Amino acid sequence: MSLLRSPLDALAERVGLARSSELLCVALTHSSYASEHECESNERLEFLGDAVVDLAVADLIITAYPELDEGSGTLVRSRVVNESSLAAAATRLDLASAMRVGRGVVKERGLERPSLLADAFEAVVAAVYLENGYDAAKSFVQETLGDAVADAESRPGDSGPKARLRQWSEANGLGTPDYDVTSSGPSHDTTYSALVRIANRAVGTGEGRSKKVAEANAAEDAWGRRDA
């Protein structure tokens, strides 16, 4: 009789690491849990994983889409290597079910935060890189994000959410969108909130781990509401 695998077992198999991997354990440890239990968080791995993901995606773009020039390749990469895209990848991998987070994060349903999920994805990539080498990490990233790269490459005329919203606003005689950004939370886990106004009217909101991400998410929200 077969036993159901735990989320950690399934994830470990998916990324090619042992369930007992210390690096995988660290990659799945949020700073809130680390603070409560005096252990290492995934922040350093997230820092390394960010670079590995960026390189692996750039490698895929150059290899699979040789017709793209530098500008187009950069645009495709920016559509894939961002908080929302990486959070979606983490969701597909069900990283949240295997993560260790503090009581406050659980209470506030913080495991649903895109920033937390995106950081965890990058940390897991770093764990694969450190334990199995770059080729293994590259294969994992490209397999996980390959569809997102293909989708981004198929939309050559698309632009970022802020640029797209600005072009629409100005084309309709409404002027340039204005963004107000505030921050909250401890220094090690700051969340930025953005409010975008067009013609002095609030039209969208967004959050993120950086001002840039929060503004982009607010612009995306406003874009979806523009005909409301």
For 41-88, the pLDDT digits (tens) are 999 999 999 999 999 999 999 999 998 878 778 878 888 888 888 999
C-alpha distances in Å from residue 55, one per residue of 44, 48, 206:
18, 11, 28
| Residues acting as catalytic residues | 50, 122
- Give φ, ψ of 35 to 5 degrees: -65, -40
Q: Which strands sit side by side in the sheet containing 191-198, from one edge to the other?
A: 178-184, 191-198, 201-208
pTM value? 0.71
Residue 3: what pLDDT? Answer: 53
What are the start and end residues of each CATH 3.30.160.20 domain in the chain? 161-225
Cα 142 to Cα 21, 88, 122: the distances in Å are: 22, 14, 13
Q: Which CATH superfamily is domain 7-153 in?
A: Ribonuclease III domain (1.10.1520.10)
* Token code pair at residue 185: 């939370």
CA atoms of 126 and 112, how far apart (whole Å): 22
- Quote the CA–CA distance of 217 and 75 in Å, as a whole number: 17
pLDDT 10s digit of each residue in the chain, 228 long? Answer: 345 678 999 999 999 999 999 999 999 999 999 999 999 999 999 999 999 999 999 999 999 999 887 877 887 888 888 888 899 999 999 999 999 999 988 888 878 888 899 999 999 999 999 999 999 999 999 999 999 999 888 875 556 788 888 878 887 888 889 999 999 988 778 899 999 999 999 999 999 888 888 898 899 899 888 866
- Residue 113 corresponds to which tokens in the numbers above? 């935060």
158 residue type, one letter: D
The contacts of residue 219 (CB under 8 Å, 6+ apart) are 160, 161, 162, 164, 165, 177, 196, 204, 206
Nearest to 77 by CA among 49, 58, 56: 58
Q: Where in the chain is the domain with CATH 1.10.1520.10?
A: 7-153
The class (CATH top level) of 161-225 is: alpha beta
The whole-number pLDDT of residue 43 equals 96
Nearest to 99 by CA among 32, 152, 163, 28: 28
